[in-house]
Chain A
Amino acid sequence: DAGVTQSPTHLIKTRGQQVTLRCSPKSGHDTVSWYQQALGQGPQFIFQYYEEEERQRGNFPDRFSGHQFPNYSSELNVNALLLGDSALYLCASSSLGLANTGELFFGEGSRLTVL
Chain B
Amino acid sequence: AQRVTQPEKLLSVFKGAPVELKCNYSYSGSPELFWYVQYSRQRLQLLLRHISRESIKGFTADLNKGETSFHLKKPFAQEEDSAMYYCALQAYNTDKLIFGTGTRLQVFP
State the A residues within 8 Å of B (CB): 3-4, 31, 33, 35, 40-45, 48, 55-56, 58, 90, 94, 97-98, 100-109
Contact = CB atoms under 8 A, between A and B. Distances in A.
Interface of B: 4, 32, 34, 43-46, 49, 51, 86, 88, 90, 94-102
Nearest to A48: B95
Given A55-B95, A56-B95, A98-B90, A106 B100 contact: no
Contact of A102 (B32, B86, B98, B101): B32
Most-contacted residue by chain B among A42, A56, A105 (CB, 10 A): A42
Nearest to A58: B96
Closest 8 CB pairs of A and B: A42-B99, A45-B96, A97-B95, A106-B44, A102-B49, A103-B46, A102-B34, A98-B95
B99 A43 contact: yes
16 contacts: A4-B43, A41-B102, A42-B86, A42-B88, A43-B44, A43-B97, A45-B98, A55-B95, A94-B95, A98-B90, A98-B97, A102-B34, A102-B90, A104-B97, A108-B43, A109-B43
A108 B99 CA distance: 17
Nearest to B99: A42
B46 A41 contact: no
Contacts of A58: 96
Contacts of A45: 96-98
Say whether chain A's binding surface is mostly helix, strand, loop, or mixed.
loop
Contacts of B99: 35, 42-44
Nearest to A105: B45
Nearest to B34: A102
B95 A41 contact: no
A84 B96 CA distance: 22
B95 A90 contact: no
A41 B98 CA distance: 12
Contacts of B90: 98, 102
Contacts of A40: 101
Given A42-B99, A44-B99, A107-B43, A102 B51 contact: yes
